[in-house]
Amino acid sequence: MPVRYDESEYVFCDLQAIYRYIRLDDEEVARRFLNSAYDSFEFLAENPMIGRARPEFAHAGLRSWRVQGFRNYLIFYRTGNDRLQIWRVLHGSRDLQAMMK
């Protein structure tokens, strides 16, 4: 049975903020970003241990993976028994320590 994913309460706002920012330059690229993010969530649900472990953040089991085709955007997630929780989607140049509190 494949692992499914859930989104934290932050993910919708993260994705909308990124979409609006990218859309300022190119609406088609912004749409591609959203599609790639959700495709990446599905990929992670099927391959939950593929991402990089992130012990520097104070969240047990936290890992990260890049949004496919958008290498500056990181997906932070945690694995569970039969669920993957997508925790945040952030640009890699942000103050990640502050954002992950």
Output the pTM of the full model: 0.91
- Report domain extents, the chain: 4-99
Burial of 28 (0-12, 13-18, 19+ CB in 10 A): exposed
Report the pLDDT value the prediction gives residue 19, as an integer from 0 to 100. 98
The answer to whether domain 4-99 has CATH 3.40.50.300 is no
Question: Cα dihedral sign for 19, 22, 24, 28?
Answer: negative
Virtual CA dihedral for 63, 46, 67, 20, nearest 10 degrees?
-100
Taking residues 17-39, what's their average pLDDT? 98
Report the pLDDT value the prediction gives residue 3, as an integer from 0 to 100. 62
Q: Where does 5-63 have alpha helices with state H?
A: 11-23, 27-46
pLDDT per residue as tens digits for the range 41-78: 999 999 999 999 999 988 888 999 999 999 999 999 99
Taking residues 74-98, what's their average pLDDT? 90
